[in-house]
Chains A and B, each alone.
Chain A
Amino acid sequence: MPNLPPTRPGPEAAPRNDPDPRNPRVAVLPNPDDIDAVPLRHPWRWVVAVLLLLVFAGVAVSLWQNDNVNHPTISEFIFDRRILDGVVLTLVLTIVSMAVSTVLAVLLAVMRLSNNPVMNALSWLYIWAFRGTPLLIQIVFWGYLGLLYARITLGIPFTDFSLFSVDTNTLIPAFVAGLLALTLNQAAYSAEIVRAGMLSVDEGQYEAAYSVGMSPTFTLFKVVLPQAMRVIIPPMGNETISMLKNTSLLSVIAVLEVYTVATQISSQNLRQVELLVVVSCWYLLLTSVLSIPQYYLERHYGRGNARTLPPTPLSRVRAILRPAPRPADPIRADAS
């Protein structure tokens, strides 16, 4: 029982509510069922909040009044056709590379955890190579693959037989090269996340699955991965946001995503800062939008663990607009 302000003992006070002579701070309640207490105050929260507001306001005003930033340029280009096309391409690159790399990652993680030594080594080698070299270099590599192999040929190695043979630059335009680079690199990172998720599943789950006659593959898809998802999704949300921003690296091989487009425009009108503001706004918007599906995925895979479900963005907004009374608080500060 918390320490309470002393009050007069009521006539109906039960014996257990009598003041303890050894501890005068323990007091009796007027109503033995409810506690009527002064709520805990948080004065420092207010001080810090006010200070922060002042700092933000100062920064915002100085940016707004900076003569080197031309505001009409920002509003002119934020919905420019070329910028919008770049935004769409950025989004497509992010979604496609995340989707394909996740499938690859599951494959790599399963290979890494299998007791087949060949698969195991192959997966290790892949992760080692693609995680160990900078993404920027991998992008340039795929972009300039034509310099390494002028033609790509599908056939039987060490013979003259070939099924087809195409010019590398025709088969792999900049967009495909960029997609390839992002996907293959991401797969190496995601593989480790998926592996961690799979390792988080209890050994007893495999035994139970095998004991009812499930094959290893069925067990993987029906028992292990759905449980691993709970552990996999939060870091994968992070990876999706990094991926969105990493697409800007594709400017080095001239893929027309939003940042490339912005640099092309600013090289003509010399409004570098304004166009950086434009793309930053778009990146912020996209990262915010992309984090919405995460909540729903977490809720979906959190079923059966009802106690830890995070609120959806919608219910968060609702909570801000209409704060619910704090439930299960043992001390009723506003008791009448």
Chain B
Amino acid sequence: MTDTTRVTPSAGVDQTGPTASALNAESVGAPPLLSAHKVRKSFGAAPVLKGISLDVAAGQVMCLLGPSGSGKSTFLRCINHLERIDGGRISVDGELIGYAARHGRIFEMNRREVAKQRGGIGMVFQRFNLFPHMTALENITVAPIGVRGLAKPAALARGRELLDRVGLADLAQSYPAQLSGGQQQRVAIARALAMDPKLLLFDEPTSALDPELVGDVLDVMRALAADGMTMVVVTHEIGFARGAADEVVFMDGGIVVESGSPASVLDHPQNPRTKAFLDSVM
């Protein structure tokens, strides 16, 4: 892996970039499920991500911490290609995000390929973003039926099973407006799970919730982590990070400032910026 490896989205193929075979043979041992390498992203002239590199192994939970504006949401959105990256690369389960290798060259994906790739990466949003015109069950089944082509009875059965798993079995026919914030967020988690994602991304899933509803959502997330789901969680819930994360990453100003085990980063932060941030949220 060299510093010249770089995918330029608009200019098409970079001849010095990675080839299809090189992509899969980068690391020794089990390849990470999520691998971000020198990811850069700017909005206009303002750089938001200035070279984020991190790996998440399958079954691991990574918590991303950082002050507001540090680029956490932007990074998550880059992982499932809601934003195009300006440089670097991201791969999930060995597949480059947004680019496909064919005949040893790299092509930008078309919209259909991007959509298919996103189906394997779940995302849970701060503001839930449930589809308000669909019931809880329809929210969960619309993509498996319409995107994956799952038969309706199978999708409904699986949808009910997922609702049960997030503790909402009897609210299948409720519309989002009839649910509390915590219930909506748990439906949103079930919706993401319905596509059987390899990786789940959470963007501050509890920060729009009343304090007494936070616990229910965190319980569901802890159960997922215990079941071996690979998760990247942006959160300000230090308690969750300490209990559930395998690795904690502290971001500030578009770079990774500090990373390591929860104990080392949360209890013995080395960087003064990490210290200042933890003092402010704890």
Residues of A whose CB lies within 8 Å of any CB of B are 202, 204-205, 207-216, 218, 222-223, 226-227, 301, 303-307
Q: Does B123 contact A (CB under 8 A)?
A: yes
Q: Are B175 and A213 in contact (CB-based, < 8 A)? A: no
Q: Are A210 and B177 in contact (CB-based, < 8 A)? A: no
Q: Are A211 and B82 in contact (CB-based, < 8 A)? A: yes
Instruction: Give the 7 A-B residue pairs with the shortest CB-CB distance, closest first.
Output: A213-B119, A208-B129, A212-B143, A211-B123, A204-B129, A304-B175, A215-B115
> Could you tell me the distance between the alpha carbons of A209 and B115 in the complex, rounded to whole angstroms?
10
Q: Are B121 and A211 in contact (CB-based, < 8 A)? A: yes
Distance in Å: Cβ of A212 to nearest Cβ of chain B: 4
CB contact under 8 A between A216 and B175, given known A208-B130, A211-B80: no
User: Per a CB cutoff under 8 Å, which of B121, B127, B133 touches A226?
Assistant: B133
> Could you tell me the distance between the alpha carbons of A226 and B116 in the complex, rounded to whole angstroms?
23
- Nearest residue (CB) in B for A302 is B133
Q: Are B111 and A216 in contact (CB-based, < 8 A)? A: yes
Which B residues lie within 8 Å of A301 (CB)?
133
Q: Please encode chain B, from 163 to 203, with 1 for each CB lying within 8 Å of some chain A CB and 0 for all others.
A: 00000000000011110000000001001101100000000
Q: 29 A-B pairs, CB-CB below 8 angstroms?
A: A207-B125, A208-B125, A208-B188, A210-B82, A211-B80, A211-B118, A211-B122, A212-B119, A212-B143, A212-B147, A212-B191, A212-B192, A213-B116, A213-B118, A213-B148, A214-B115, A214-B147, A218-B146, A218-B147, A226-B133, A227-B131, A227-B132, A301-B133, A303-B133, A304-B133, A304-B176, A305-B175, A306-B175, A306-B177
Which A residues lie within 8 Å of B112 (CB)?
215
Q: Does B214 contact A (CB under 8 A)?
A: no
Q: A212-B119, A213-B116, A215-B112 are in contact. List 10 more A-B contacts (CB 8 A).
A: A204-B127, A207-B77, A208-B191, A210-B118, A212-B118, A213-B120, A213-B195, A226-B133, A304-B134, A304-B135
Indicate the member of A212, A213, A215 with the most B CB atoms within 10 Å: A212
> Could you tell me the distance between the alpha carbons of A204 and B132 in the complex, rounded to whole angstroms?
12
Which B residues lie within 8 Å of A208 (CB)?
123, 125, 129-131, 188, 191
Which B residues lie within 8 Å of A204 (CB)?
125, 127, 129
> Could you tell me the distance between the alpha carbons of A214 and B115 in the complex, rounded to whole angstroms?
6
Chain A interface mostly helix, strand, loop or mixed? Answer: helix
Which B residues lie within 8 Å of A214 (CB)?
115, 143, 146-147
Which A residues lie within 8 Å of B52 (CB)?
none
Question: How many A-B pairs with Cβ below 8 Å?
Answer: 87
Which A residues lie within 8 Å of B191 (CB)?
208, 212
Q: Are B132 and A210 in contact (CB-based, < 8 A)? A: no
> Could you tell me the distance between the alpha carbons of A148 and B142 in the complex, rounded to whole angstroms?
51
> Could you tell me the distance between the alpha carbons of A169 and B95 in the complex, rounded to whole angstroms?
60
Q: Are B130 and A207 in contact (CB-based, < 8 A)? A: no
- Nearest residue (CB) in A for B124 is A211
Which A residues lie within 8 Å of B194 (CB)?
212
> Could you tell me the distance between the alpha carbons of A169 and B80 in the complex, rounded to whole angstroms?
56
CB contact under 8 A between A207 and B82, given known A214-B115, A306-B175: yes
> Could you tell me the distance between the alpha carbons of A1 and B167 in the complex, rounded to whole angstroms?
41
Which B residues lie within 8 Å of A223 (CB)?
131
Distance in Å: Cβ of B222 to nearest Cβ of chain A: 22
User: Per a CB cutoff under 8 Å, which of B77, B111, B127, B177 touches A215?
Assistant: B111
Which A residues lie within 8 Å of B122 (CB)?
211-212
Which A residues lie within 8 Å of B142 (CB)?
212, 222
Which B residues lie within 8 Å of A222 (CB)?
142, 146
Distance in Å: Cβ of A134 to nearest Cβ of chain B: 38
> Could you tell me the distance between the alpha carbons of A202 and B129 in the complex, rounded to whole angstroms?
9
- Nearest residue (CB) in B for A204 is B129
User: Per a CB cutoff under 8 Å, which of A205, A218, A306 touches B129?
Assistant: A205
Indicate the member of A210, A211, A303 with the most B CB atoms within 10 Å: A211
Distance in Å: Cβ of B229 to nearest Cβ of chain A: 16
Distance in Å: Cβ of A110 to nearest Cβ of chain B: 14
